[in-house]
Structure 1
């Protein structure tokens, strides 16, 4: 049973990591939790840099008429037509497909070379709105890459900033486009714009673009590190007032720490101490990437980084633990999922280490951390329930931790109901995890079989017998046969336990 449980533990960590910034899955919520925040940030950025339409009323003009007018030699008519097109696409980016029917790409590629700055700005704003659309829509404007790069060298800050946000929006998903830009030296340009004293807005937009360049498969970590990104980030943290630049800096670090190659740079430069301070930020959006950076250290295969975070400095560990409890007690839903993942990383350790951590939580923080996680399993919605269960299972891998908890926990019925509800999960790994928990429970406490039945454990397993996933229904069969087969006696009650 222990070997099976060891094997399943790897799946728990894998399942949790899939839902993090490491992008283990395709473009879904599990690909990157930052995406929603990115969209909100992009929306605000567009609102700030787009010209207001309040002073002049634009009508929705048919695409064919707009494209026809764009072929005119009258520069005023071209500007007006571009404004009409911008207005239409700002209302619905998907309307760009209607313009494609009239060869709009080639028309814009000709106009974008115009010497007229206003024409360039209008086209850039059109591309900005298109870049905020779906992956398929983004693909339609990749041919403008070289022009957008040239805009970065413009003396017009607004044109530069629009281009940066377009790059940020495209590079996170269009990986071939990103890789081509990297080969052509765009990272040097982006790093060069990380100067908040020259233009804070340009600096923020460039950092935003860099963070998105570090998404996806085979990100350009080495290239960005060779350009002294850590020195730039350290300078950002010298800025006392929390701001958008800290948000992007933390996200860049969260991506760079998805591999442990650069951990020593962070340690040697004392960046971690600055990162930890954001755990108590009033801005949730700053706390989330800080949590993930810490979790990345804890998940490293090299245990010296775990020791650096947890064991080398009790004050540092207590600071982290106190902030964990603060989030759980404040019931900040947006952060609880992140904190559960951090707990999973903290429990990614040896038996004596986990016992030590539980003891610190109880004596120094006056909290039973396993009971706190159990409350989430009992009361929270699916996403939080799942993450809390994964954290518990990482701790319960060790029999001494598990047995001690079950012997002392007073709300076992509700906990079982919460855990068994996860057997309905669409993720087979989660259902397997709960069945492994059930096997562990009944091996350690066979008299609890009746309680399992009373909590609908058997009926949930029976449903899995009809599951299309072969490994799930076979596993359900094994547990039913082993613990609820011919030798199962309901009179052998859990009350005797």
Structure 2
């Protein structure tokens, strides 16, 4: 382990434990996050697989004029036409909202007593809310009426209102706060727990996941529905009495006979995916929220979902994301995950995938593996025994920077606590070369991790500075030190490494067995290649020590890969046409 006292300034690596709040912040970091969280209702020819006709000015003006001027008894056909126009691939939302000024009229039509008018109006509002924030803002006055529709006797209207509210919730923290204040959550919880149709359960779960988004969203309002979320993740749905009776009648009509067992709906995979995304957002909230989710059986359901996914999306990514949040949190949460023997084999299988189309999923798995490696000693040893360092090494040697970044952090968390594996890594020209190359990367977090690895080799491996120099590391570190464009903190850290380890005194002390001030035992062992020939544990660190040292701290601080992209903020069925 690194020395407790050093003359050189420690490499500045902020506390990079995979904090759950950091994950929540990263989930919403993309510029177009609000749009990505939304799902537009297809209502025109495209829904039936037919070729769409582009909208014309005359057609649009006729629909707008009819909706605005016709009495309620005559407005329905114009609403249908407007809904079709707003459901096109390139809908004229700007023309309807700003040019036509139609939002107030649509909100007014929600109060009419005609079911079909309410349904078509809600559909139009859904599609407007799927557009940009400035368009969504024009129709937020409809939210009280939309929330009331969740308790309507018409299932079609219930589902359409869920879609509209989900689109509004996906836009911003302000809108999510407004919806919670207006009581949107409770009726959504009821529809998820006891839906009249499975489609409504799916859409309710999706809408709730959008309401759970954002680092400003508290977890406490969602806790009361924790058992429902876990049951949904397991694919179980308790239909209303009327729906259950209808399903049973349909089964009887299919010839199951009077002696058939009670109707049990099959697992719904789309519902499981949406429930997993709810949990992914909630496990980035307050500890009290996560503790309650653990209490009601979330961890077991998550591991079941990971196993059932077979390492394939759309279920695997949210399951991995949520489990990664768990192993990055309190130690008892990580313990609860690691108690499941199926977890590490499933994680390792995703890590070892050679399918380049699954790159995002592999990256997620590498992030989770790094979290595990940053935890308890026994968890890290189980990860090594599973063979995951070999998979991380292959990712480190790939040509994709995002995968290299995750793998570099994961390998650091392993070797920083295992002297034998650190020596194997240092003696592996491929691994050393990869970290040296990452020192020249354009991403400061990647450079920070690579510098930290080279520093670790210099101070803990006999002859470490010479190994680093032979791999081209000294030149790379100098490039950071003297670069006029590098982060000043990285420049200072690079200079400290050079001063401490590459002067005459540094070479002499390293050749004698490492920094004379360190209380780490001398590194022993060997190996034919890091990641492919692991020996015993050799762990010399204290239990719970994680990652590189932080500034002003003597104990090691947890290290974690940074950067979550918009690719993981999408609802699971965003690109699918509704059935």
Say whether the fold is shared (TM-score over 0.5).
yes
**d(CA) in 1 for partners of 2:321 and 2:85?**
39
Is 2:170–2:210's contact at 8 Å kept on the other side of the alignment? yes
* CA displacement, residues 75-111 of structure 1 (integer Å, 9 cap, x when unaligned): 6874444444434433356732233133222232333
> Which of 408, 422, 426 does residue 438 from structure 2 map onto?
422
**Residue 439 of structure 1, CA deviation:** 1.3
- SS of corresponding position for 2:165: helix
* CA displacement, residues 455-477 of structure 1 (integer Å, 9 cap, x when unaligned): 44344434432225321222233
**Residue 151 of structure 1, CA deviation:** 2.6
**Residue 309 of structure 1, CA deviation:** 3.0
**d(CA) in 2 for partners of 1:436 and 1:171?**
41
1:30-45, aligned counterparts within 5 Å? 42=39
Which residue does the alignment assign to 1:60?
56
* 1:477 and 2:482 correspond: no
* 1:291 and 2:293 correspond: no
Which residue does the alignment assign to 2:152?
154
Which residue does the alignment assign to 2:29?
27
**d(CA) in 2 for partners of 1:197 and 1:71?**
35
**Farther-moved stretch of structure 1 (170-179 vs 2-11):** 2-11
- SS of corresponding position for 1:349: coil
- SS of corresponding position for 1:10: coil
* CA displacement, residues 406-451 of structure 1 (integer Å, 9 cap, x when unaligned): 4334972222333334335554233222211121112223645455
Which residue does the alignment assign to 1:375?
394
**Residue 205 of structure 1, CA deviation:** 0.8
**Farther-moved stretch of structure 1 (144-153 vs 461-470):** 461-470
Which residue does the alignment assign to 2:219?
221
**d(CA) in 2 for partners of 1:347 and 1:324?**
13
**Residue 336 of structure 1, CA deviation:** 1.4
**Residue 454 of structure 1, CA deviation:** 5.5
Query: Cα 1:236–1:196, aligned 2, differ >3 Å: closer, same or farther?
Result: farther
Is 1:94–1:137's contact at 8 Å kept on the other side of the alignment? no
Is 1:300–1:306's contact at 8 Å kept on the other side of the alignment? yes
Is 1:423–1:431's contact at 8 Å kept on the other side of the alignment? yes
**Residue 184 of structure 1, CA deviation:** 2.2
**Farther-moved stretch of structure 1 (372-381 vs 213-222):** 213-222
**d(CA) in 1 for partners of 2:233 and 2:293?**
14
**d(CA) in 2 for partners of 1:191 and 1:421?**
50
Which residue does the alignment assign to 2:336?
308
**d(CA) in 2 for partners of 1:219 and 1:182?**
10
Which residue does the alignment assign to 1:277?
304
Is 2:64–2:102's contact at 8 Å kept on the other side of the alignment? yes
**Residue 356 of structure 1, CA deviation:** 3.2
> Which of 181, 202, 206 does residue 204 from structure 1 map onto?
202
**d(CA) in 2 for partners of 1:450 and 1:5?**
20
Unmatched 5+ residue regions in structure 1? none
**Residue 190 of structure 1, CA deviation:** 0.7
Total equivalences in the alignment:
466
**d(CA) in 1 for partners of 2:382 and 2:44?**
47
Is 1:89–1:96's contact at 8 Å kept on the other side of the alignment? yes
> Which of 291, 300, 319 does residue 342 from structure 2 map onto?
319
1:78-227, aligned counterparts within 5 Å? 78-91=75-88, 95-99=92-96, 100-195=98-193, 198-226=196-224
**Residue 380 of structure 1, CA deviation:** 4.8
Query: Cα 1:460–1:112, aligned 2, differ >3 Å: closer, same or farther?
Result: farther
Is 1:416–1:455's contact at 8 Å kept on the other side of the alignment? yes
Query: Cα 1:483–1:294, aligned 2, differ >3 Å: closer, same or farther?
Result: same
**d(CA) in 2 for partners of 1:437 and 1:468?**
18
**Residue 201 of structure 1, CA deviation:** 0.8
**d(CA) in 1 for partners of 2:451 and 2:172?**
39
Query: Cα 1:468–1:90, aligned 2, differ >3 Å: closer, same or farther?
Result: farther
* CA displacement, residues 367-410 of structure 1 (integer Å, 9 cap, x when unaligned): 2x223211111115122211111222222332xx1x31243349
User: What TM-score, normalized to structure 2?
Assistant: 0.70
* 1:461 and 2:477 correspond: yes
Unmatched 5+ residue regions in structure 2? 237-265, 512-525, 527-579
**d(CA) in 2 for partners of 1:427 and 1:17?**
22
**Residue 202 of structure 1, CA deviation:** 0.9
- SS of corresponding position for 1:285: coil
Which residue does the alignment assign to 1:71?
68
Query: Cα 1:135–1:392, aligned 2, differ >3 Å: closer, same or farther?
Result: farther
**d(CA) in 2 for partners of 1:160 and 1:218?**
27
- SS of corresponding position for 2:30: coil
Query: Cα 1:31–1:8, aligned 2, differ >3 Å: closer, same or farther?
Result: farther
* CA displacement, residues 251-307 of structure 1 (integer Å, 9 cap, x when unaligned): 222333333324554444444223211122234222222223332332223x23333
**d(CA) in 2 for partners of 1:423 and 1:94?**
47
Name the structure with the higher helix share.
Answer: 1
- SS of corresponding position for 1:194: helix
- SS of corresponding position for 1:375: helix
**d(CA) in 1 for partners of 2:287 and 2:222?**
15
